[in-house]
A and B are shown apart, each in its own frame.
Chain A
Amino acid sequence: MRPRFSFLPQGSIAGGALPWVLGVMVFLCTLSASFGLTLDSAVNEWAGSLSRQISVQIVTADREDRERQAAAALTILKDTPGIKAVRRIDDSETTALLEPWLGKGNVTPDLPVPILLDVELLPGYNMNLTALGARLSKDAPDAALDDHERWLVSLNRLAKSLQAVSGLVVALILAATAAIAAFGTRAVLASHRETIEIMHWMGAEDRTIAGEFRYQFMLQGLKGGLAGLIMGVLVLFSVDYFADQLGRGLIPQLDPGLFGWIAILVLPIFAAILTMTAAHLTVRRELSKMP
């Protein structure tokens, strides 16, 4: 990789703004990629936990009938294979859920609040929800089964859209990085045209001349990329820390996954390869114009 000897002035490439620009690019790439990858992990986790849960709502105005149907539904659910646990959401929990909307003290016992049953399925068990619904409707005709499918489909659609946007941003940043490397090489070539011509007339092979540029640009790409990565990871961990301090809510834990981390950590290498390739192609194209 390192050329046999160097013919460019020391620091003539490093002295420019290229490593800084590359650093900024890798920094943005790190943020964008980790956002997309974390979102992917979070959606998978939400979808995984929701797909193992269903809810049963008993919606009828008559309190006694509601209680009777709830008891019947509980019995049916407990006797149904594939169900790990059934839990009735108690009144205090229901009140806590409704109070933010209805106001404190407004959730009174005479309010016809539906009874909620939280059902946890055995992992991997393929439950026939249509058959379960039919069985429930016999003894609890006002029971409504909700497998969160609509919510999951919308959530997935949103997550996939955001991931596509972050992927597009990463692709645009990489394309911009390649363009910057090509412009940077052209500028360096212009300032070293005399040196290149002398090397060329003295019989240096195109690959020897291009090799020096490849090496120098690879170093700059790696240097800028590492700086950008370090900055990016620091920012990510800071945001994650502050999200923890403030109460996470819907903000997912920073978790791009193992392959995600590997992809993020190899970004500087990717930046180095990208700049090296752009420099190589630019130099070879310029050299091919010489006889």
Chain B
Amino acid sequence: MRYGMGAEVLKDISFTLTPGSFHFLTGASGAGKTSLLKLLYLAHRPSRGFVTMFGKDITAAGREALPGLRRRIGVVFQDYRLLDHMSAIDNVALPLRIAGGAQDAKIREHVEELLVWVGLKDRMHARPPTLSGGEKQRVAIARAVIAKPDLLLADEPTGNVDPVMARRLMHLFVELNKLGTTTVVASHDLDLVAEMGGAVMQLEDGQLSHSPQTRPIRKPRNIHSPDMIAGLSDGKGL
């Protein structure tokens, strides 16, 4: 993969993400973690080679096929990318509204439940410019997981929260993963990665130097399941 006419930022990468697996993506700053995630959330197409996702060859797929695939992917952007003119609750509800089919009251109910669980009970109606970095990050995570995606991609999702909240959020990812969501978390927090287990993909100078290995993912210590996730697992999800 390359940006415009620039040098290749990712090369000779080949890997398979088994449905329902959990992966950490590590690497130094500039190693290509964000670029690899961009390929996975279909913001870029590879300049050569091919990417197959949900049984579809993305490189050959027409533009019209991509929105449906993107709706199956939840993304936590490193810079959050929240809509500043919308409240936290409306930002989180966006994927469900884009997907359509659910009643607004039901959407709000689930969004509120999730926002309470990520510790934003009193900030639901606040707009992103008035939120702290950690609060924005939690809103971004809630937005990425609310529609129970098949693939969850998180770019440094715990970079701006304290260790307790970081583990709480990682727990949310683990719970979603248990429900079948394939998860890729880009992180430079090696302590957290070591604590959590799971497969680790390490990027170095645009190349995958360490292929994913399947290790059981562990639940962070002293964290309980959110009701929202329980609701999803009971089939009451949206």
Q: Which residues of A does B touch, CB under 8 Å?
A: 4-5, 7, 9-10, 12, 194-195, 197-206, 208, 288, 291
Contact = CB atoms under 8 A, between A and B. Distances in A.
A203 B71 contact: yes
Contact of B94 (A10, A202, A205): A202
Given A9-B85, A291-B42, A4 B63 contact: no
Given A291-B42, A291-B66, A203 B98 contact: yes
A9 B90 CA distance: 12
Contacts of A200: 70
Closest 10 CB pairs of A and B: A203-B71, A203-B70, A9-B85, A203-B67, A5-B97, A204-B98, A205-B67, A198-B81, A291-B45, A202-B95
Interface in B32-52: 41-45
B111 interface: no
A208 B66 CA distance: 14
B13 interface: no
Contacts of B75: 201-202
Nearest to B68: A203
A206 B68 CA distance: 11
Given A12-B85, A198-B94, A203-B73, 14 more contacts: A5-B97, A7-B86, A198-B81, A201-B70, A202-B71, A202-B94, A202-B95, A202-B98, A203-B98, A203-B99, A205-B67, A291-B42, A291-B43, A291-B44
Contacts of A205: 67
A229 B20 CA distance: 61
Contacts of B73: 203
B100 interface: yes
Contacts of A204: 67, 98
Nearest to A8: B85
B83 interface: yes
25 contacts: A5-B97, A9-B85, A10-B85, A195-B83, A197-B81, A198-B81, A199-B94, A201-B43, A201-B75, A201-B81, A202-B75, A202-B94, A202-B98, A203-B68, A203-B71, A203-B99, A204-B67, A204-B98, A208-B98, A288-B63, A291-B42, A291-B43, A291-B44, A291-B45, A291-B63
